[in-house]
Structure 1
Amino acid sequence: MVLDEHQLIDIRRKLHQIPELALDEFQTHSYLKKVIATFPQNYLELKEFKELPTALLVHIQGSNPKRTIGYRADMDALPVTEENKLSYASKNKGVMHACGHDIHMTVALGILSYYASNQPKDNIVVFFQPAEESDSGGKKAYDLGLFQGKYAVDEFYGLHDNADLATGVIGTNAETLFAGTTEVNVIIQGKSGHAAFPHNANDAVIIAANFITQVQTIISRNIDPIKCGVITFGKIEAGTIRNVIAGTARLEGTIRGLTQDMIEFIRKRIVEIAKGLEISFNAKITVEYNQGGYYPVENDSKLSERFIKYMEQDDQVRFQITKPAMTGEDFGYLLNKIPGTMFWLGVSSPGSLHSVDFLPHEEAIMAGVRAFTRFLNYRMNLEED
């Protein structure tokens, strides 16, 4: 059975009603298995993992395989309370598919249903991935060894819906699609004291102010102006009362860059600045980083140029080259290990991604299924790697 547009929309709406947070996608997992069980099973093999219990891998046996092509769809939702007045609005209080992962999963099911009924030439592995929004589900899956044996993938593809692109438009580039992100925490240890006797204290607020000012020069003076990097400290905690000099301060921020090399350079400079301020202020400054799997989504140039060339030549596809976005996506970790391409699918939502009124146009689902299955059929008939 190849799912038609009406069935796909119905599936998407059912998924939309049962959003679940990272690593808690058990109801979603169960529903996906139920849908997949309705497909012809001649070429399918489904695999689950006790170490990552909400993940699903589906292997489709090719008729004359030269390679195994992976396709990833993320499953988790966000801690957002939906404000859309829909008959199929979220039933899970305070949780919503505000990033459109219900669209992602539905497109994957459409692709899967097509190849369950039309055996592909190459092997295909569809990966329903938990924990994209947090907890680095892609990294967890890779590090646990999920992509081994018959589930080893030679090239990986995945999409992300885009609220600002017209419904059904496919967009990507052959370089970086999403930035990488790293959490950074800075703990400053000075010495508290009376506000009237500053010479007897070591003001952590003053040190924090100097740190933030100097860190901003990394972007303005250490990075090539035509390249991109972002440092934002969005949270500062220091002090208890107006007439006591703060002895400690904590800063929390984020680093973003279009390449992993850029992120590593920014991290190195932050540490160097911290060490300099330790000497200048006779203080202790600790810098903590947490990147997890949120590497830059660096598209493989060869695979992506082929993907773009096909999409531009297919008169049934509306395609456009898109600029990099500074948002994060843990598919970047998988692309750091396995060559591949991530692309946008336009959904024309009046509300932005991650908003309470995100509302994608469902016509995009079938457009995404058709565009990608046509591309895969083209790709699988190429003799070249």
Structure 2
Amino acid sequence: MAVINRIADFAEDMTAWRRHLHTIPELSFDCPKTAAFIKERLEEIGVDEIHEGIAQTGIVAIINGTGDGQTVGLRADFDALPIEEETGVDYVSTHPGKMHACGHDGHTAMLLGAAKYMVETRNFSGRVALIFQPAEEDGGGAQVMCNEGMMDRFDIAEVYGIHNYPGAEFGAFYTTPGPIMAAVDMFTITINGRGGHGAMPHETADPVVAACGMVQAIQTIVSRNTPSASEKVISVTQIHTGSASNIVPDTAMINGTIRTFDKDVQALIRRRMEEIVAGQAASYGVEASLDYEVGYPATVNAPAETAKAADVARKVVGDAKVDDAFPKVAGSEDFAYMLEERPGAYLFLGAGEGAGLHHPKYNFNDEVAPVGASFFAQLVEQLQPAAK
């Protein structure tokens, strides 16, 4: 495995940075301690510029190369999750009810490690924009950073990101051109009927029966309305109604999630949801409203940039450990907003055995950090060779 020797030399630094971040998990945009720690490390490393306050606590740092060239963006998210930690490690979260259960502490350590190496060597042309982003888990921090003009402000031409992948082969990279992660939408249906005695249902407009009908009809969108070859998921995850065995309630609520990879399929599903809710409400004699919330778009890798990233990954870990035709993942990622503004690629990095993402026993594997940092550094060096 061709981890850069100099990066391997300060692997202990990356571990220390990561474990400190693990003790101070913060949520969404409200990450002042995390941002302050990142700024302190960037100042120690000696980057050329530090720009704070983007999307509230986000940071963009600039490293200048040895000659003219474009700016490559490298992104690490740094927010945590509202989960009570159960790892038992000696650097456990000191913030009750919050933990780094998705490895964003590790992503940040990897990017800081790459930054330290690139500042020391400057073995590239142009510039690197180090993007430290809040609110990936909740709030769409990537979208906010883009809406605040980050791409134009720092003249970013391409953008790349990594996410650790517990349970996958240690040090292996996984990516694919085109959609790699799904768009995520959420829906809530509120049904207003007319309650009454369970022994006299003919005097009611039963929202429970209407809810059952709607759920059944919604399932036909996938099986009967969308192309069979398109990849999509509609999951009804909540139904809330009623209070007693002998009372027909007045109201019912249905909630769920939709995952798609194609905007036309996404639009079709939304239209059919609206038609089904209206039609089923009329047929059952109730009133119903659909609250359809459009979430993160699909994460779509640019083919040329994905090929470049996969080539660099092969140089770091070898051909056998790079899968550049990885199946799409139905999870979502707000890095999608950055890829909508600039070409680039998103990759998964295998972290070996361990608890899965968003699990209270999850813990980032520090041994994989030098691999991710080496990928970031070699990506910049290959995309923008140093002036001779």
Letter in 2 for 1:94: G
Give the deviation of 1:315 after TM superposition: 6.0
- Asked if 1:92 is matched to 2:95, the reply is yes
The match for 1:234 is 237
- Asked if 1:337 is matched to 2:341, the reply is yes
Q: Is the 8 A contact 2:192 2:287 kept in 1?
A: yes
| Alignment match of 2:298 (pick from 292, 296, 299) | 296
CA distance in 2, matches of 1:29, 1:13: 15
Give the deviation of 1:227 after TM superposition: 2.3
CA distance in 2, matches of 1:259, 1:215: 19
Moved more, 281-290 or 360-369: 281-290
CA distance in 1, matches of 2:310, 2:294: 30
| Alignment match of 2:16 (pick from 10, 28, 37) | 10
The match for 1:81 is 84
Alignment of 1:268-283 (within 5 A): 268-283=271-286
1:47-83 C-alpha deviation (Å, 9 max, x unpaired): 112x733111112223333322111111111111222
CA distance in 2, matches of 1:284, 1:138: 38
- Asked if 1:31 is matched to 2:37, the reply is yes
1:150-172 C-alpha deviation (Å, 9 max, x unpaired): x1321111011000222221111
Give the deviation of 1:256 after TM superposition: 0.7
Give the deviation of 1:333 after TM superposition: 1.9
Give the deviation of 1:286 after TM superposition: 1.0
CA distance in 2, matches of 1:193, 1:144: 53
Give the deviation of 1:308 after TM superposition: 2.1
CA shift in 2, pair 1:314/1:110, >3 Å: closer
Q: Is the 8 A contact 2:226 2:268 kept in 1?
A: no
The match for 1:142 is 146
The match for 2:365 is 361
1:141-193 C-alpha deviation (Å, 9 max, x unpaired): 222223333x1321111011000222221111112221111111111122222
CA shift in 2, pair 1:261/1:69, >3 Å: farther
The match for 1:351 is 355
Q: Give SS of 1:242's match.
A: coil
CA shift in 2, pair 1:378/1:177, >3 Å: same
Letter in 2 for 1:300: A
CA distance in 2, matches of 1:315, 1:360: 19
Letter in 1 for 2:137: E
Moved more, 276-285 or 31-40: 276-285
CA distance in 1, matches of 2:188, 2:276: 14
| Alignment match of 2:265 (pick from 247, 262, 275) | 262
Letter in 1 for 2:262: T
CA distance in 1, matches of 2:303, 2:240: 43
Give the deviation of 1:346 after TM superposition: 1.1
Q: Is the 8 A contact 2:312 2:378 kept in 1?
A: no
State the TM-score, normalized to the length of structure 1.
0.92
CA distance in 1, matches of 2:221, 2:110: 41
The match for 1:165 is 168
The match for 1:191 is 194
State the TM-score, normalized to the length of structure 2.
0.92
CA shift in 2, pair 1:286/1:13, >3 Å: same
The match for 1:306 is 308
- Asked if 1:211 is matched to 2:217, the reply is no
RMSD of aligned alpha carbons: 2.1
1:228-268 C-alpha deviation (Å, 9 max, x unpaired): 11111111111222222122111111111123333222112
Structure 1's unaligned 5+ residue stretches are none
Give the deviation of 1:313 after TM superposition: 5.5
Q: Is the 8 A contact 2:312 2:375 kept in 1?
A: no
1:198-222 C-alpha deviation (Å, 9 max, x unpaired): 2221111111100000100111222
The match for 2:27 is 21
Provide the aligned length of Structure 1 versus Structure 2: 378
Give the deviation of 1:113 after TM superposition: 1.4
CA distance in 2, matches of 1:332, 1:361: 25
Q: Is the 8 A contact 1:204 1:247 kept in 2?
A: yes
Give the deviation of 1:35 after TM superposition: 0.7
Q: Give SS of 2:88's match.
A: coil
Letter in 2 for 1:123: R
CA distance in 2, matches of 1:91, 1:230: 37
Q: Is the 8 A contact 2:173 2:348 kept in 1?
A: yes
CA distance in 2, matches of 1:121, 1:148: 19
The match for 1:46 is 50
Q: Give SS of 1:186's match.
A: strand
Give the deviation of 1:19 after TM superposition: 0.9
Higher relative contact order structure (alpha carbons within 8 Å, sequence separation ≥ 6): 2
CA distance in 2, matches of 1:368, 1:315: 10
Q: Is the 8 A contact 2:164 2:348 kept in 1?
A: yes
CA distance in 1, matches of 2:282, 2:386: 61
Moved more, 363-372 or 53-62: 53-62
- Identity across matched positions, percent: 29
CA shift in 2, pair 1:10/1:314, >3 Å: closer
Q: Is the 8 A contact 1:99 1:353 kept in 2?
A: yes
CA shift in 2, pair 1:358/1:45, >3 Å: same
The match for 2:3 is none
Moved more, 211-220 or 317-326: 317-326
Q: Is the 8 A contact 2:77 2:107 kept in 1?
A: yes
CA distance in 2, matches of 1:53, 1:166: 36
CA distance in 2, matches of 1:349, 1:362: 13
